[in-house]
Amino acid sequence: MPSISTMNKDELRSCLTQLREEHAGFAAKGLALNMARGKPGADQLDLSMPLLSAVADGDGCRAEDGTDCRNYGVLDGLPEAKRLMAAMLDDAPENVVVGGNSSLSLMYECVARCWNFGTLGSQPWCKLDEVKWLCPVPGYDRHFGVTEAFGIRMVPVPMTADGPDMNEVERLVANDASVKGIWCVPKYANPNGATYSDETVRHLAAMPCAAEDFRIFWDNAYCVHHLYDDAAEQDQVLDIGAACREAGNPHRYFKFASTSKVTLPGAGVAALAASPENVAEIKKRMGVGTIGHDKINQLRHVRFLKDADGIAAHMAKHAAILRPKFELVLRKLDEGLSNVEGCSWSRPRGGYFILLNAPEGTARRIVELAKEAGVTMTGAGATWPYKQDPHDSDIRIAPTLPPLAELDAAMDVFLCCVKIACAEKLLAQ
């Protein structure tokens, strides 16, 4: 098919008729395909089945320090679980607090603690007239949901290939003490796949902030989630903890990670790392609401994953499943949209998403058309605070859940929808 972008109106009308016929054909098939959420596929979950039998009897329930993991206690995690999660968090085990099955919960609770009690002596954020938060966009809708729930005013900051636009970030934090935090997914970011450059990390750590209790929420959700085994094809990100210490702002960060997309999303282990002072405060306050998290599950994970090498070997198995899916989506985008002006997309080397930038004003229409033809996409706008994408342009593609054949079929539908929306837009101009 010749390029939509170079057609005259008659050609466009004829092309649109053809595309709509194609779309009607898809719709008639009664498809139920899903590229909406970053869920692993069943074959990925199968990789972790030995986890379920890793702790099977009373003798096996002892931690290395003799703790009977079946009973109450151990607020911040078993020593060996801290060591395992420290490997993911790129930190020392003593700076790690192991939580339950959800890093989102750990983040929510960190915001809630600062909100209700302040942090390291600062005023509780709930006492302030206004609290603002920097949200690199496009970003993760559940991050935005947390800050929105507390009535925190979210300020979008553009993402670049190197992380958030640091000129904008530095400007916003420099003189406004109501700006208390920033959401960061520093590696293979959700959804654009970018990894923060060393310079970005150092800027975040060193920039002057009007708020002394400004906190970087460092959600390293995809820290070990490479698509390629060769180290040269893997992104690396500087440790924000080390950068903050070097810059003389040692308490500025909270780091988060989980095994949700390493073992089982429903039954993984989450953890955070922070400065010793922050960890001490978190433990003191966390201890009010729980006696301890699931230590048996911590033990399962230690026995199954073992250490950094064990995690890497396991993640290579995930990559072998995911790589063909990402490559399929990219090949289809290349084939289908290369000559459609205004369309561009990310080429991530890890993580769970590919971002399509569609021509301004078409994203909602594309997602709506896909829905009509039986393909569920992440809602247009979801990658922006308050679900408001001012350009109506960003669409997050999640290729991981559907089997390859379904993904192939879903992408055919999706590309047809993109082209319809683009043609409609050109015709309306």
291 binds a second copy (CB under 8 A): yes
217 binds a second copy (CB under 8 A): no
- CA gap 424, 429 in Å, rounded: 9
**Distance of closest approach, residue 69 Cβ to a second copy, in angstroms:** 5
101 binds a second copy (CB under 8 A): yes
Helix (H) or strand (E) holding 417: helix 404-428
294 binds a second copy (CB under 8 A): yes
Looking at 6-14, 153-161, 290-298, 370-378, which segment touches a second copy (CB under 8 A)? 290-298
Question: Could you give the 3-state DSSP secondary structure of residue 271?
Answer: strand
Question: Could you give the 3-state DSSP secondary structure of residue 293?
Answer: coil
**Distance of closest approach, residue 322 Cβ to a second copy, in angstroms:** 15
Q: Which residue has the tokens 């810059």?
A: 247
> Which pair of structure tokens corresponds to residue 82?
């801290």
- CA gap 367, 363 in Å, rounded: 6
48 binds a second copy (CB under 8 A): yes
288 binds a second copy (CB under 8 A): yes
**Distance of closest approach, residue 154 Cβ to a second copy, in angstroms:** 14
How many residues bind a second copy, per CB under 8 A? 55
387 binds a second copy (CB under 8 A): no
208 close to 304: Cβ distance less than 8 angstroms? no
Q: Distance of CA 209 to CAs 166, 168, 186, 385, Å? A: 13, 13, 20, 22
70 binds a second copy (CB under 8 A): yes
Secondary structure in 3-state letters for 28-39: HCCCCEEECCCC
- Pick between residue 201 and residue 282 the one whose CB is nearest to a second copy: 282
Q: Which of 49, 174, 313, 316 binds a second copy (CB under 8 A)?
A: 49
Question: Edge to edge, what strands does the sheet with 394-397 contain?
Answer: 344-345, 354-357, 394-397
221 close to 265: Cβ distance less than 8 angstroms? no
- Pick between residue 71 and residue 123 the one whose CB is nearest to a second copy: 71
> How many residues are present in the chain?
429
Question: Could you give the 3-state DSSP secondary structure of residue 3?
Answer: coil
17 binds a second copy (CB under 8 A): no
- Identify residues 129-148 at the interface with a second copy (CB under 8 A): 142, 145-146
- Pick between residue 41 and residue 164 the one whose CB is nearest to a second copy: 41
Looking at 20-28, 69-77, 248-256, 313-321, which segment touches a second copy (CB under 8 A)? 69-77
- Pick between residue 173 and residue 272 the one whose CB is nearest to a second copy: 272
- Pick between residue 2 and residue 289 the one whose CB is nearest to a second copy: 289
> Which pair of structure tokens corresponds to residue 384?
């922006």
Binding mask 248-287 for a second copy (x = CB under 8 A): ------------x---xxxx-----------------x--
- CA gap 299, 380 in Å, rounded: 40
Q: Which of 1, 24, 28, 149 binds a second copy (CB under 8 A)?
A: 149
Q: Which residue has the tokens 């978190």?
A: 282
**Distance of closest approach, residue 61 Cβ to a second copy, in angstroms:** 8
- Pick between residue 108 and residue 414 the one whose CB is nearest to a second copy: 108
Q: Which of 20, 118, 122, 150 binds a second copy (CB under 8 A)?
A: 150
Give alpha helix (H) positions in 225-275: 240-246
- CA gap 4, 337 in Å, rounded: 9
**Distance of closest approach, residue 111 Cβ to a second copy, in angstroms:** 9
CB crowding 355-378: b at 16 or more within 10 Å, else e? bbbbbeebbbbbbebbeebbbbbb
For residue 425, how far is the Cα from the chain centroid?
31
Binding residues for a second copy, rule: CB under 8 A, are 37, 39-40, 42, 45-46, 48-49, 52-53, 55-58, 61, 68-74, 100-102, 104-105, 108-109, 112, 115-117, 126, 142, 145-146, 149-150, 260, 264-267, 285, 288-297
